[in-house]
Amino acid sequence: MSARWRELKERGSPAALRVMVWVMRRFGRRRARLLLYPITLYFFITSPTARAEARRFLQRVHGPQAVSQRLVFENFFAFAAVIFDRVYFQSGDIDCFDIRIHDEDGATELALSQGAIIIGAHFGSFDAARCMAVGHKNVQLKIVMQAEQNRGIHQVLESLNPDFVSPIIPMGGSDTLLEVKEWLERGGCVGMLGDRVGSRRRSCECEFLGAPARFPLGPWRIAYLLQVPVILFFGVYRGKDRYDIYLEKAGVPSSAQDEETELCRWVQYYVERLERYVVDAPLNWFNFYDFWSDAQTQERSTRRDPPLATDSER
């Protein structure tokens, strides 16, 4: 089944989130973080499917004999900590973090000088992209996203910072590409996540952690059509108050090449870079569902009945 991530239900009510935010702002980040332990334990106990998928993922990285329930719990805890820190990133209160930016090839200067598409993943913190700056000049960033997927969290963040809504470009709208184009022409940057597939026909199969998985073509197709540079972004949570931000210039997809071939080539490059960071910091992987299932289901179906495979299914 395509887009299994869309089937995941948001956990936690807006009221509970508001209480959490009140505690964070009233008692400070260090004390409020103590709440992450019972919260993580609750979701760890009540989310057997996500727990099983997290374990399978960690086995891909560490091997089947190396994954304990404690390691799975640490994966859940890292996710809770990153969600917790969104409040601070969105409100601009980042002095409490130890943020280390690794930008050896001038990706931030590129973003400031002409704009770019910044592609990340559900890995670590994409909200940390708001810390991209040269001197005191911040990169102007809008995010293309499915806002309804975590509507409760967005409502709470909006109440903290009304500007949180304006930087969002809704994904899949009739004028999404136009909005992206206009923002880039104004010198802004557009952030997108490149790891969740919405439609199999708009995806590419790549080798990822030893097995085939499907990745979306959408972010790369926009860069191809608009001929704008791409920057890869990985905001790795290292524990406590530390985040390492890694920025890499990927270049501009060539419009002189066959579109499908060129896009798949860039997706494969992105997947190779993503895998490098995932292996380095696997607890930052926050896709708690069977990420590899679409490619495996498609492969089994093709093996059973190859004459029925159509161009739209490949």
pTM of the model: 0.87
With vertex at residue 88, the alpha carbon angle to CA 218 and CA 194, rounded to the nearest 5 degrees, is 10
Tell me the per-residue pLDDT of 252-293, one tens digit each, with 9 for 90 and over. Answer: 998 877 899 999 999 999 999 999 999 999 999 999 999 998
With vertex at residue 55, the alpha carbon angle to CA 51 and CA 59, rounded to the nearest 5 degrees, is 170
Cα 121 from Cα 140, distance rounded (Å): 19
With vertex at residue 169, the alpha carbon angle to CA 163 and CA 170, rounded to the nearest 5 degrees, is 120
Which stretch of DSSP H or E encloses residue 211?
strand 211-216
Tell me the per-residue pLDDT of 211-254, one tens digit each, with 9 for 90 and over. Answer: 999 999 999 999 999 999 999 999 999 999 999 999 999 999 98
**pLDDT at res. 19:** 82
Hey, what are 174's tokens? 């009739």
| pLDDT class of 2 with cuts at 50, 70, 90 | very low
**pLDDT at res. 79:** 96
| Cβ neighbours of 184 (radius 10 Å) | 21
Which carries the bigger pLDDT value, residue 199 or residue 299? 199
Which carries the bigger pLDDT value, residue 133 or residue 36? 36
SS3 102: strand
Hey, what are 212's tokens? 């085939």
How does 243-253 read in b/e, with b if 16+ C-beta sit within 10 Å?
A: bbbbbbbbebb
Q: Is the pLDDT of residue 193 over 90?
A: yes
Cα 213 from Cα 297, distance rounded (Å): 10
| pLDDT class of 304 with cuts at 50, 70, 90 | very low
SS3 68: coil
Q: How far is CA 161 from CA 90, 143, 202, in A?
A: 7, 15, 34
Hey, what are 300's tokens? 């089994």
DSSP 226-267: HT--EEEEEEEEEETTEEEEEEEEEE---TTS-HHHHHHHHH
Cα 147 from Cα 165, distance rounded (Å): 9
Q: Is 89 exposed, middle or buried (0-12, 13-18, 19+ CB in 10 A)?
A: buried
| pLDDT class of 132 with cuts at 50, 70, 90 | confident
Hey, what are 195's tokens? 């790891």
Mean per-residue pLDDT, 152-178: 76
Task: Give the CA dihedral 122, 123, 126, 127, nearest 10 degrees.
Answer: 100
Mean per-residue pLDDT, 74-90: 92
Provide, rounded to the nearest whole percent, the portion of the chain with pLDDT above 70: 83
Please state at what angle helix 69-91 crosses helix 48-62, rounded to 10 degrees. Answer: 100
Which carries the bigger pLDDT value, residue 153 or residue 216? 216
**Start-to-end CA span in the chain (Å):** 14
Q: Identify the weakest region by mean pLDDT among 59-73, 189-203, 279-293, 294-308.
A: 294-308
| pLDDT class of 309 with cuts at 50, 70, 90 | very low
**pLDDT at res. 199:** 74
Mean per-residue pLDDT, 163-183: 83
Cα 89 from Cα 182, distance rounded (Å): 26
Highest mean pLDDT among 55-59, 82-86, 158-162: 55-59
**pLDDT at res. 295:** 57
Which carries the bigger pLDDT value, residue 88 or residue 11? 88
Alpha-helix residue ranges (DSSP H) falling in 107-150: 107-114
Cα 96 from Cα 297, distance rounded (Å): 45
**pLDDT at res. 300:** 43
